[in-house]
Chain A
Amino acid sequence: MDRQERITLLALIADTFREALARKIFWGLFGLSTLIILFFLFLMKIDVAQGALATLSLFGQTSGRQVDAARLVRQFQAGIATFLYTWGMFLSAFASAGLVPSVLEPGRIELLISKPVARWKILLGRYAGNVLLIGLNAAYLVLGVWLILGAKTGIWITGFLWTIASTTFVFAVLLSVVLLIGVLFESAALAIMVTAGLMILSPLLAQTRLMDRLLSSGWTRWLWTAFYNCLPKIYDLGHMTLDVVQGNPAWNWFAVWSSALFAILMLGLGMVVFARRDY
């Protein structure tokens, strides 16, 4: 990538940030993360006694019983990771869905295309800006909670930091679908529906062993497995992250590479469609 291409890519990323700021998406996401961080900072009090046992106070009310401090921290971190994988992902997809069709609006896209930038780079810049925005938000929340819990308990569980990478990765996978739908249909609503559909389908499709027993015919079992293999494994990736956070890492590389492949395919398809379309 030469210097001019870097200037262009950075401009497109910065423009995504500016639009997210103007649409209050940036502040919405960071505001929510700040609220969670403030909850851990001010409303939750953990008293660690004898280095391992802790009592927990919420809103000034003490639980009374002592719990294993490390276990408590892991549970909180797992809660944050689960939140990020479910509501966090949905909110992020919802917030980002409009950022692709907005670029394709008549009167705006012609001017972008008239610049000496290959079309695929315009789309890639928008995609990268979006991923970076959500990645930064995830990093802010996870690092914030990790620092507060660590400072309050003296327990620093680094596995939790994997949540930044894994949620950003899952978002990048989902955004590739948002991008393709955005380019194909220029509809933010449809992009959200499809993304939500993928998120809902993922835990169902992941029950392959159960379905193997429940489905009677061979071809339906084959179809189920095919769907599971082809679609992104959001549930598996979330499960894997929870395992890491809870100190039992069980890397599911198939879920990682097959989801990455799915994202690359969606992104590539989006770029091809975008490159060929008349505006």
Chain B
Amino acid sequence: MNNSVLPSATQAASDLAIDARLLTKVYSSRISRRRVRAVDGISLQVAAGITFGLLGPNGAGKTTFVKMLLSAVRPTSGSVCLFGRDANDASARRPVGYLPENHRFPTYLTGSGMLDFYGALSGMESSARRRRIPELLALTGLDNWGSVRIGKYSKGMLQRLGLAQALMHQPSLLILDEPTDGVDPVGRRQIREILTELERRGVTIFINSHQLAEVELFCREVAILERGRLALSGAVKDLTVGKGFKLTAVRVPDPVRAQLNESATAVWSSDGVVGFQFADRAAVNRAIDLLRAATCEIQSLEPAASTLEDVFVRTIHG
């Protein structure tokens, strides 16, 4: 990867890349007078330079929230600042690169033409655009596709071109809506590598995604939305700290196993290794005493960790 192509964070106006306060969006039907609170009083702060994941089931208000960050949707109440500037001010979006979810890039443009157009809309000089386009096409693996009309691109290629478009003007904040949607595993890895390098350079990355495993792998902080409200937010490492301990042992006699089954929260076995999960330290210590008394060999002992998926399901379904 040619790292010199990637932007570095230069925005220092505020420590917060995103500062949303009591953001609310109510959609009203003119005919039925029905009102839907798509986003309901969300306050969310994203520090500059971190990778942040926005999660939530369908209809949780994620897309509306992202659109309010970009002023595509006007909040009913509340405010959004990007690097300390009101998001309604067009110039506040200058340091922002955005990749929408269901994008529809103009199919009459070539890959290079599209990058040139969106680069110009970001205020880039033509000489800078000419220099940057081949660099970004190479970075996203599209170097042989620049002169091809994007109507001929596959979904994964469009996604990579979309990412190149978002990086065109060297943004300090990247807002990516399902960035790896439709991308093959190799391309997904490539995108992850690009994003990891961007994070290293201090670029704030805000990802709206359904790919929980990817968000867990990549984001340092997450927020989970449910029915328009902020259900949970925090650092991934704190949220995924599980309760209890995992213990594995070999040569566990059946009576001991039966006895441990009663106190364990989960039991599994594979190739003669039996695993137990215990809810607390006292329970795992009692189990160790029992196993050692029965001359069983303890193979491993570690704190149990939840996956982000566990956290997500627990948050949404209680």
Interface residues of A (CB under 8 A from B): 4, 7-8, 10-12, 14-15, 18-19, 21-23, 105-118, 276, 278-279
Per the 8 Å Cβ criterion, residues 102-129 of B in contact with A are: 102-109, 113, 117-118, 120-126
Residues of A within 8 Å of B70, CB to CB, are 110, 113-114
CA distance A107 to B93 in the complex (A): 18
CA distance A278 to B93 in the complex (A): 17
CA distance A4 to B123 in the complex (A): 5
Find out whether the CB atom of B103 lies under 8 angstroms from the CB atom of A7.
Answer: no
Find out whether the CB atom of B106 lies under 8 angstroms from the CB atom of A7.
Answer: no
Residues of B within 8 Å of A8, CB to CB, are 120-121, 123
Cβ-neighbour of A113 out of B71, B92, B126 (below 8 A): B71
Residues of B within 8 Å of A106, CB to CB, are 102, 104
Q: How far is the CB of B109 from chain A (nearest CB, A)?
A: 7
Given contacts A107-B100, A107-B103, A108-B105, contact A278 B74 (CB under 8 A): yes
Given contacts A111-B118, A112-B121, A116-B122, contact A19 B71 (CB under 8 A): no
Besides the contacts A8-B120, A276-B74, what 9 more A-B pairs have beta carbons closer than 8 Å?
A11-B121, A107-B102, A107-B103, A108-B105, A111-B98, A116-B92, A116-B122, A278-B74, A279-B67
Find out whether the CB atom of A105 lies under 8 angstroms from the CB atom of B120.
Answer: no
Residues of B within 8 Å of A113, CB to CB, are 70-72
Find out whether the CB atom of A117 lies under 8 angstroms from the CB atom of B90.
Answer: yes
28 contacts between A and B (CB under 8 A): A7-B124, A7-B126, A8-B121, A8-B123, A11-B117, A18-B106, A21-B108, A108-B106, A110-B72, A110-B98, A110-B103, A111-B98, A111-B100, A111-B103, A111-B105, A113-B70, A113-B71, A114-B70, A114-B71, A114-B100, A114-B175, A115-B118, A115-B121, A116-B92, A116-B93, A278-B73, A278-B74, A279-B72
Residues of A within 8 Å of B67, CB to CB, are 110, 278-279
Find out whether the CB atom of B117 lies under 8 angstroms from the CB atom of A15.
Answer: yes
Query: Total interface residues on B, using CB and 8 Å?
Result: 34
Residues of A within 8 Å of B90, CB to CB, are 116-118
CA distance A221 to B187 in the complex (A): 70
Q: How far is the CB of B117 from chain A (nearest CB, A)?
A: 6
Residues of A within 8 Å of B108, CB to CB, are 18-19, 21-23
CA distance A239 to B126 in the complex (A): 45
Find out whether the CB atom of B113 lies under 8 angstroms from the CB atom of A116.
Answer: no
Find out whether the CB atom of A279 lies under 8 angstroms from the CB atom of B73.
Answer: yes
Find out whether the CB atom of A114 lies under 8 angstroms from the CB atom of B98.
Answer: yes
Residues of B within 8 Å of A115, CB to CB, are 93, 118, 121-122
Per the 8 Å Cβ criterion, residues 220-247 of B in contact with A are: none
Cβ-neighbour of A114 out of B96, B117, B120, B126 (below 8 A): B96
* Residue B94 CB within 8 A of the other chain: yes
Given contacts A22-B108, A108-B105, A114-B98, contact A278 B72 (CB under 8 A): yes
